[in-house]
Structure 1
């Protein structure tokens, strides 16, 4: 019986040649890709600080990306921009929250959330009346306001407590009778209008002076027997104004971070607020209630980090309560490959 034929005699030698060529091409392709591979670098999207408005030309800049790479910008709308430059401009036509996505070299992505709001109306300065006055006032204490409008010859003042004209001169002095926010309005020459909001607070309860020491009489008067007890005199004392507790900026930021993570609630701010649970908060340029703020913070996606968090408050100097609160929160996404 004949010995088994060798593999080389059974398989056509051209098969081995084809396999060798395919292996060589694969190794060459892998080596080329490995040699030209460039790992993703962290890219940051930069945009101007402050409020963003509808119709405004907003500039976006990619920071940390080498010049010459291909960048694709997505502004959360139906419009796409592919440019080699690191700086692009975009105009939003509607108010809302937009997720800006920057893709580098079809691979590396960076995210930034922005808020666009309605642009304020354009004010004709020729129709504006300018005047000076305090930001805060005390009930029962007179405060003064003065018009500084050029060419003014006729004035009408309203101080927000009635519908009647309160003064008709360039300088006006007024005494507020009730606490709260008041809108001071000035009409100059019948066509120029100026407005200013001030906070009027109740005065502190006056402290009672200590009684003067009694002088000893030089004449000794014998004590008389008192048949009926004397009723003690009830002093009329006004209750002291409530002093609100102090809260630091770091503690407020910690509460906000806790709300994002789900471990805190906006109710923790209520003991420090003048208006309590009825106070409105300015969050990223929008005024909202505490419950709306809580929902907005909980809506921050878990996959994102907070890039920047800033809290600014205004306090009542008499009782330390917070009159107003402004929160600016910027998110930063994790780039993925």
Structure 2
């Protein structure tokens, strides 16, 4: 019985060795993890830029204590690593999610909004020059530049297609070949972003014998034009020169009757045109007051809101003495002659009659 009660224990040495090896490896891994484990102290990172706009330099920086490894993701597909302070440029406007990993186990993110880049315009860089209000065909005109920083000049005097540079001197002279309202352009120092333009009215040659009525020349003369009187609200209760028996005639003209003479085309812009149209509708201005602003024998066509094209005679007879509401008016000029070739008009009748 004593022999059966004995307990005999036997361990395989290979199993024992394997168990010891596993314990050793687990201890090493645990020791490594404990050694590498650090508290996550990252709370935020800095974003600095003169302006958060497209193309501007943006600086990202982190000052976390005990940090030794960084990985940045700027939200636009670009990344940077191993530096606590990095710079980046965004190429498109929008909102971007910027992520930072510190020591591989700490992560923080911020949203940065990049605005579109706006080109700054420095008003002091625009050219400054003087031109006369009036010039005459076949007489030289002098243009004077007063731009302080100018070293190079490109002048275009409003004749031709506008592509050709007419002068490159500081204070050039130019002789106009055709009458009309011209636009003078000046660019200095090859900077096309800064361009200044002014208007000059070129009258027919004074060497010709035809006489020009002062009333028909310019609104800048001392004698006020009838259209100017109306637009400046100096109109009496009845139309100037109004005669009841002539009221139904197309040319109930306010201009004193004189022998026919070659009249200069008066300056016209969209604001003035709108005033004339309203003057016709109030029966204050005549057909001749209207057409004196267009080139002789080249009256413009009129395009109405529905796309139909009518003559200025039709327009005059349609709106004369009628109450209208003018919504929009614009003009198209012939590039060669500078004559008004098309009037684009949007108006509606008011009332029943």
TM-score over 0.5 (shorter chain): no
More contact order relative to length (CA 8 Å, sep ≥ 6): 1
Which structure: larger Rg? 2
> Is the strand fraction higher in 1 or 2?
1
TM-score (norm 1): 0.35
TM-score (norm 2): 0.33
